[in-house]
Structure 1
Amino acid sequence: MRIEILTIEGCPNGPAAEREVRGALAALDLDIAPTFRVIASSDEAADVPFAGSPTVLVDGADAVPGSEPIQDLACRMYLTPSGPAGHPTAEMLIPALRAALAR
Structure 2
Amino acid sequence: MDIELLYFTGCPNWTTAQEHLTEALATLGRSEQEVKLHAVETSEEAGTLHFPGSPTIHIDGHDPFPAASETFGLTCRVYSTPGGLAGAPTVKQLAQALTHTP
Q: TM-score range by the shorter chain?
A: 0.7 to 0.9
Unaligned runs of 5+ in 1: none
TM-score by length of 1: 0.84
Q: Sort the Cα spacing of 1:20 and 1:43 in 2 relative to 1 into closer, same or farther, 3 A.
A: same
2:10 counterpart of 1:6: no
TM-score by length of 2: 0.85
Residue 52 of structure 1 and its aligned partner are, at CA, apart by: 0.9
Instruction: Check conservation: 2:52, 2:67, Cα contact below 8 A.
Output: no
Instruction: Check conservation: 2:11, 2:76, Cα contact below 8 A.
Output: yes
2:15 alignment partner in structure 1: 15
Mean alpha-carbon deviation: is it higher for 45-54 or for 77-86? 45-54
- Rounded Cα–Cα distance in structure 1 between residues aligned with 2:73 and 2:67: 17
% identical aligned pairs: 39
Amino acid at match of 1:76: R
Instruction: Check conservation: 1:52, 1:72, Cα contact below 8 A.
Output: yes
1:80 alignment partner in structure 2: 81
Task: Describe how 1:12-91 pairs up with structure 2 within 5 A.
Answer: 12-30=12-30, 31-91=32-92
Residue 69 of structure 1 and its aligned partner are, at CA, apart by: 4.5
TM-superposition CA deviations, 1:52-73 (whole Å, max 9, x none): 1101111111122343453221
Residue 21 of structure 1 and its aligned partner are, at CA, apart by: 0.4
- Rounded Cα–Cα distance in structure 2 between residues aligned with 1:78 and 1:72: 16
Instruction: Check conservation: 2:5, 2:36, Cα contact below 8 A.
Output: yes
**RMSD of equivalent CA atoms:** 1.7
Q: Sort the Cα spacing of 1:72 and 1:17 in 2 relative to 1 into closer, same or farther, 3 A.
A: same
